[in-house]
Structure 1
Amino acid sequence: MNAVVEPAIVTRADAGSGIVLVCEHASNHFPDVYDGLGLSEEVRNSHAAWDPGALGVAERLSEKLDAPLIAGAVSRLIYDCNRPPDAPGAMLTRSEAYDIPGNIGLSADEKAARVAQIYDPFHATVSAVLDKAKARVMITVHSFTRVYLGQSRAVEIGVLHDSDARLADAMLKTAGDHIALVTQRNAPYGPGDGVMHTLKKHGISRGIPHVMLEVRNDLIETPEAREGMATQLAAWLHHALSQLGAEHARI
């Protein structure tokens, strides 16, 4: 598998707000070299393969916040760029209710090849964009399902963080001014679920405020819904950032 795979797409690379957006699970694209991992079209289009609606919200946010956006360009089932190479979830053999045939029995060399083809260049791109933008804030954008393994979820917006809660705290403090939705801290996922890799690798390591936003995907099914969600999130983020001090109030 030596074919060239493009792991990331950058838009608005020259935006100057000091905010950088990341959408790791933006795509359900399966490059031909992976032969669809042996999955049906239904699975390749399901939430198991990507975060439906997340890219549309992130793109609208990029415009409203004047922020560069790094979006994953291949399905997370090939490699989940929000997981380090040693994580069990990096190349899942089973996701939700689906077996992933093309990931079963991967050799160490095959796994290393995916790390080199997808993970390494994706995160190198994130680092390069953060450097170029002189980033003062990083925001990652995801979506989640209303029902997971038969269990309904009441949360509609999740505000996720690891050890640095500065931006999450400010957002949760101001949520009622901007979002008439069920908003929770570290839900439907939290640090114990292994979903903080990008935040830790790029946000905590740089000491910049950061947050992971999870939006329930039934709320962003249409272009109009994604536009409306991004409008609300942008105003909310600006308000929250203004609570962090003069430096971030200017963002």
Structure 2
Amino acid sequence: MLIRSAVLTEADGNAVAVENPGGRGDVLLICEHASNRLPEAYGDLGLPTEALVSHIAWDPGALAVAQLMAKNLDAVLIHQRFSRLIYDCNRPPISPAAMRDVSEVFRIPGNENLSEVEKSQRTTALYLPFKGHIAEEIAARREAGRATVLVTVHSFTPVYYGRKREVEIGILHDRDSRLADRMLTAAANTSLYRIARNEPYGAADGVTHTLEVHAIPAGLLNVMIEIRNDLVDDEIGQGVVADFLTGLLRESLAETSDS
């Protein structure tokens, strides 16, 4: 029997992790889908191991890439410590995608027929602290006279609903495309990866929530990066992708400051 009255126990620890909190770089890295860990009280949500290690539970490789980028850029990194199966922190509470009961081919029994109370408990325990940490970091930097460039890091599955995805890195944006435009221009002549704008998702799919909440209203430069997860399934791939993206960001931000 699933117990939902207490979302996180003392043993679970905090919902949010902040790495390199003293980072002096302008970039603030966010990884909403960093972990496939489930809170102790929820067991396995009625899912098989196959599902719990798959992309429906997290973004494989995304945290490792973000951590390497944080080191390269001396950036603060904020990430969620629990699976998006419990709450997807890149979705607002009103979105059906925040607490899905079906993801691709998998039913999620532990998410079926959630009451409004249960949804509120998850929102309070997971989404609000995550949103709060990001907002507090941006506010503190603003008060200190520091710039903030918001960059979210994700990965995506190579095959979705049986369809192979050819794109390898997606540069995503909402209505503010300034940084995405610069990055796409900087990457135009690369032969290392197949790169596309707003692929395999775009703003119309509801994936730019973090950018919409924290960056766009404040006029902050922002971008969402999607990496095909077969490229970052080992340390070598993670390092190559992190170095490539670090270079793109550095070049793009230098051009932005010069213009």
TM range (shorter): over 0.9
1:237 correspondence with 2:249: yes
Which residue, 39, 42, 56 being the options, matches 1:34?
42
Look up the equivalent residue of 2:76 and give its one-letter code. P
8 Å contact from structure 1 (residues 30, 75) kept in 2: yes
Structure-2 residue corresponding to 1:109: 117
1:193 correspondence with 2:198: no
Which residue, 140, 160, 179 being the options, matches 2:152?
140
Structure-2 residue corresponding to 1:75: 83
**CA deviation after TM superposition for structure 1 residue 57, in Å:** 0.3
**CA deviation after TM superposition for structure 1 residue 92, in Å:** 0.2
**Distance 1:61-1:179 versus aligned 2 partners, 3 A rule:** farther
Distance in 2 (alpha carbons) for counterparts of 1:44 and 1:177 = 38
Gap regions ≥5 residues in structure 2: none
User: Which whole-Å deviations, capped at 9, do the CAs of 1:77-101 have from their partners, x for residues lacking one?
Assistant: 1000000000010000000110000
Distance in 1 (alpha carbons) for counterparts of 2:254 and 2:100 = 40
1:46 correspondence with 2:58: no
Which residue, 22, 26, 41 being the options, matches 1:18?
26
Look up the equivalent residue of 1:92 and give its one-letter code. R
1:169 correspondence with 2:186: no
Distance in 2 (alpha carbons) for counterparts of 1:23 and 1:35 = 24
**TM-score when normalising by structure 2:** 0.92
**CA deviation after TM superposition for structure 1 residue 129, in Å:** 1.9
Gap regions ≥5 residues in structure 1: none
RMSD of aligned Cα (Å): 1.3
Distance in 2 (alpha carbons) for counterparts of 1:178 and 1:127 = 35
Secondary structure class of the residue paired with 1:243: helix
Structure-2 residue corresponding to 1:62: 70
Secondary structure class of the residue paired with 1:69: strand
Distance in 2 (alpha carbons) for counterparts of 1:117 and 1:135 = 29
**TM-score when normalising by structure 1:** 0.95
Look up the equivalent residue of 1:201 and give its one-letter code. V
Distance in 2 (alpha carbons) for counterparts of 1:191 and 1:157 = 16
Distance in 2 (alpha carbons) for counterparts of 1:179 and 1:17 = 28
Distance in 1 (alpha carbons) for counterparts of 2:93 and 2:39 = 20
1:225 correspondence with 2:237: yes
Distance in 2 (alpha carbons) for counterparts of 1:179 and 1:157 = 12
Distance in 2 (alpha carbons) for counterparts of 1:177 and 1:8 = 38
Look up the equivalent residue of 1:191 and give its one-letter code. A
User: Which whole-Å deviations, capped at 9, do the CAs of 1:36-56 have from their partners, x for residues lacking one?
Assistant: 212122211111100000000
**Distance 1:179-1:10 versus aligned 2 partners, 3 A rule:** farther
Distance in 2 (alpha carbons) for counterparts of 1:177 and 1:7 = 40
Structure-2 residue corresponding to 1:91: 99
**CA deviation after TM superposition for structure 1 residue 116, in Å:** 0.4
User: What is the number of residues matched between the two proteins?
Assistant: 247
Structure 1 stretches of 4+ with a deviation exceeding 4 A read none
8 Å contact from structure 1 (residues 13, 129) kept in 2: no
Look up the equivalent residue of 2:236 and give its one-letter code. E
Structure-2 residue corresponding to 1:210: 222
Structure-1 residue corresponding to 2:193: 181
Distance in 2 (alpha carbons) for counterparts of 1:179 and 1:223 = 21
